[in-house]
Chains A and B, each alone.
Chain A
Amino acid sequence: MNIITRKFDTLVIGAGGAGLRAALQLSHADAKVAVVSKVFPTRSHTVAAQGGMNAALGNVTPDNWHWHMYDTVKGSDYLGDQDAIEYMCRAAPDTIIELEHFGVPFSRLENGRIYQRPFGGQSQNFGGDQAARTCAAADRTGHAMLHTLYQQNIRAKTHFFDEFFAVDLLKNKAGDVLGAIAYDIETSEKIIIEAKTTLIATGGAGQLFRTNTNASINTGDGMAMALRAGIPLQDMEFFQFHPTGVAGKGMLITEGVRGEGGYLINCDGERFMERYAPHAKDLASRDVVSRAIAIEIREGRGCGSNKDHVLLKLDHLGSDVIKKRLPGIRDTSLTFLGIDPIEEPIPVFPTAHYTMGGIPTNRNGEVVVPMGIGGEEVIPGLYAAGECACASVHGANRLGGNSLLDIVVFGRAAGNHIIDFLKSHHYHQILADDCIDEALARLERWENPLHKQDEESNNSSESYSVPQLKEELQQVMEEKCGVFRTEKVLAEGVEKVKQIKDKFEHAYITDHSVIFNTARVEALELENLIEIGLATVISALARKESRGAHSRVDYEIRDDESWMKHSLYYMNDHRLNYKPVHTKALSVDTFPPKERVY
C-alpha cells in the first residue's frame, strides 16, 4: 500500500459534541488522538442545537436525577434501556458543571447559578408538576457548547484532520476495527489512520427527508460505515419529527419557545394541545405534539390559505423575554419569513429532526452486537457516541434537551473507557494489505471520468445524477415514512428505496477533479444515506405497533407483549434481528411500562 499511514492511540471520526468531548478526555489523559472531520469542527451540526441540555440541577424547580430518569423512560415509550438512562441522568449534573468550568457561557439566574427552562416531557416527582431542567445559553446552547469544546481541545493540543472525509473502517479477519481510511478533501490524498481504538461520532441522518432541520452534512456517514463493516443498526424506525420546524422550509424553532410560555394555535385560534395533553399541553413529548399538529391539519384546522401549518404564538411573552432568551429564533424568523415573533406568530409544521436509532452500544460507548450465545458482545476497540449511536437512552422518542446531554455524557464515558482499554492494549495490530480494497474501489468509482461515458453508451436512459437521486430519496422517505405510517405505504417505500439503490449503481458525477471536489463528497454521502434510508424503512415496515415516534395507523396500540424489543437491521440481505430492552436499571427499581399520557 503506497498510501500515507498515520498511527494514533485513538481515532475519533466526527468533531461534533460527542467526538470533541471524547477527544478532550483522551487528550487530558495524554493519549494520542486524531479527530477526523469532513468540516472544520465548529461547523459540525451540534452548533445548531438551540434550547439546551437537561440536568437535574434544581436551580429553578426542585429536581433530582431520578425524576429525570422517569421522564426519559416514559418519553422513550419504554423502549429506552433503563441502565443507560440511569447512568446518563445521574451523570448529567456533573457533566454540565464541567462544561461550565470549561467556559460555556450559560445564561444565568439572579443568584448567579445556571439558568434552566422548562422543556417538553419534564416533570417533578414522577409525573407531577412541570420541571425546569434544561440548562441554556439563550437559544444558542449548542453553539456555545461546541465552540467551548473545540477551544478546550485546541488548548489540549488534540490533533485534527479538518476537511478529511472518512470512507470506511478497517478490519482484520477477527473482526477487530483497526482504524479507518479517509481522504483529504482539499487534495484527494488518501490516508490510512491506524488506531488501537476507534470512536464513531458522526451524528445523524436528517438529510433522509426532504424537509428537515438538519445541516446538509447530516448524511449518516458513520452509521453507513458500521453497516458496511457488518455491524447492525438499532431501532432505525424511530425518527423524530420536531413539532416546530418553519413551515415549508424546515429551520428549527426551539422547543424553548414553548418552554418560555409560547403555545400552538390552529385556524380557529384554539390552543389545541389542551385537547391532546390536558396536563402538559404544549410541553407534551415531541411525538405527541407532532401527531397533534398533523391531525389538526388533516382535519382541516390548519392555518394559511392552504391550511397546511399551525401557528406558534409567542408575542404575549413580550419583547424583553424574546430578545433575551430567544434571540436566535427571532433572527431566523426575521431572516427566512420576514416575521418578527414579537408581533406575529410563526408558521410551523412537524419536521424531520433526529435519528433515535443508530450503532448499538452499551453505556460505555462500546459497540455491541449479537455474536455467539449472548445478544450483546463487545467489538473490542470500537466505540460510538452521540446521534449516530444507540445506547439506548432515547428509545422510541427522545426528550428535548436530552440530545446535548447524550453527546457529552457518552462522549465522556467512551473517552474514559478508551483510556482503560489503552492501558491493556499497548500495540497496534497488524493491518492486512487487502483490508482497504473495497473502500478504494468505492472511491475510485468517482475518480474515473470514463464511468459516465460507459454508462451512456450502454444505455443512456439509465444514468442518474447524484442530486437527482438524492431528491428522489428524500421525497420517498417523506411520503412513505413520515409521521403516520401504514403497511401499504411502508411496503411501497421499501420498494422505492431499493430501486433508488439500484439506480445508484448507474449514478454519475461530471466533476472528476482532484482539488476540493464537492461533487464527489456528495456522491459518497448519498451512498451512505441510501443505506440509512433502507435501514429506516425496512425496520419501520417490520414493527407492527405504535410506539413513540413510530406511529402505525394500522396498529394503533403499543404492544409490549410482542414488541418491547430493539430492532437490529443488517445491511446484508436486509435482515432484521431483535434483542430485549434493558428494563433493569443500575440501582433503582424498574419503571414498568404503563399508558403514556401527558
Chain B
Amino acid sequence: MLFTIYRFNPETDETPYMQEYDLSEIKPGTMLRDALLRIKNEQDESLSFRHSCGEGVCGSDGMNINGTNGLACVTSVDGLKQPIIIRPLPGMPVIRDLVIDMTQFYTQYRAVKPWLIVKDPIPEVEFKQTPEQRDKLDGLYECILCGCCSTACPSFWWNPVKFRGPAALLQSWRFLADSRDQATAERLEELEGPYKLYRCHSIMNCVDVCPKNLNPTKAIGHIKKLMLKNML
C-alpha cells in the first residue's frame, strides 16, 4: 500500500516536501493510525504525528487524508484511494511533519468562555434539568477539539483571528443551549459584529469532516436565530 506523506522538519528542511512510503501486508480493517505507526516503527522513526487513545475520543490525530480532514485512528485504510496522501490539517502553522501549532484554535475556544456560568445561589443538590433539556446538549458536548472542522473552514483560513471558527462556536452554543447557564445576554453580546460569528457562510465543510458527526453549522444557525430573537 502506497502512502505519500507531507514532511517538514524546520531544523533541516528549507521547504516542505512529500515523501513516499510503501507498506506491505496490511490486514483488512487496519486503521490509518496503525499504518502510520508501522511506517514510523519499521521504516522511518523521524515521521512525527500526534496520537493517543486510538479510538477517536482524545482528538490528537486529526490530519488531512486524501484531501479531507479526519482522525487517523478511526479511518480505515480499506476504502482510501492510493497512494494515500496525508498532509497536516490545513491553514495552521506546521511545527513538524503532521504536527500543527493549534494555539490559535485553542485561543478561539477560550474566547467563547466555554464554561457554565451561574449567577443564582448554588444549591446543595444538583441543578435540576429535564431529560428534554438535557437532550439539547447532545450533538454539542461530544466535541473532542480535534480541530478537523475549523481547519476545513475557508472563513477560518482567511480570518483565524477575527472569526471564532466552527469548533469554538459549537461550544458557545453548547453553553447557550444549557438550561443551567445564565449568561445568555453576555455570550450573545460577545459574538456581535461582522466577524466572530457572522463570518460563517454556511459552507458546511465542518459538518462534512467532523469525526463525531456533530453539526457546527446548525449550532451557528441556532446562535444567529437566538441573537435575532433577543434583538426583537
Contacts and interface: CB of A to CB of B under 8 A. Distances in A.
Interface of A: 39-40, 42-45, 47-48, 96-97, 100-103, 105-114, 137-138, 140, 143-144, 147-148, 151-152, 154-155, 186, 215-217, 251-252, 328, 331-332, 335-336, 338, 465, 467-468, 509-511, 513-519
Nearest to B125: A97
Contacts of A109: 131
Contacts of A465: 41, 45
B52 interface: yes
Contact of A108 (B50, B106, B130, B145): B130
B57 A513 contact: no
A105 B180 CA distance: 10
Interface centre among B48, B53, B96 (most CB of A within 10 A): B53
Contacts of A108: 129-131, 133-134
Nearest to A250: B54
Contacts of A468: 41
Interface of B: 9-12, 29, 31, 40-41, 45-46, 48-60, 74, 95-97, 99, 102, 106, 110, 113-116, 118, 122, 124-131, 133-134, 137-138, 141-145, 175, 178, 180
Contact of B52 (A96, A103, A215): A215
Contacts of B51: 216
Contacts of A155: 113, 115
Nearest to B96: A516
A147 B95 contact: no
A208 to B, nearest CB: 16
A517 B53 contact: no
B66 to A, nearest CB: 18
Nearest to A323: B138
B99 A516 contact: yes
A44 B54 CA distance: 12
Contacts of A152: 115
Contacts of B122: 101
B46 A511 contact: yes
A513 B114 contact: no
Contacts of A251: 54-55
A516 B95 contact: yes
Given A45-B52, A155-B113, A516-B99, 16 more contacts: A39-B58, A43-B58, A48-B55, A96-B126, A101-B116, A101-B122, A103-B175, A108-B130, A108-B133, A110-B131, A113-B125, A148-B116, A215-B53, A332-B55, A335-B55, A518-B50
Contacts of A516: 48, 95-97, 99
Given A47-B58, A186-B95, A509-B45, A515 B128 contact: no
Contact of A140 (B45, B96, B125, B142): B142
* Most A-side CB within 10 Å, residue of B40, B128, B134, B143: B134
A154 B59 contact: no
Contact of A515 (B11, B113, B143): B11
Given A103-B116, A109-B131, A516-B96, A215 B58 contact: yes
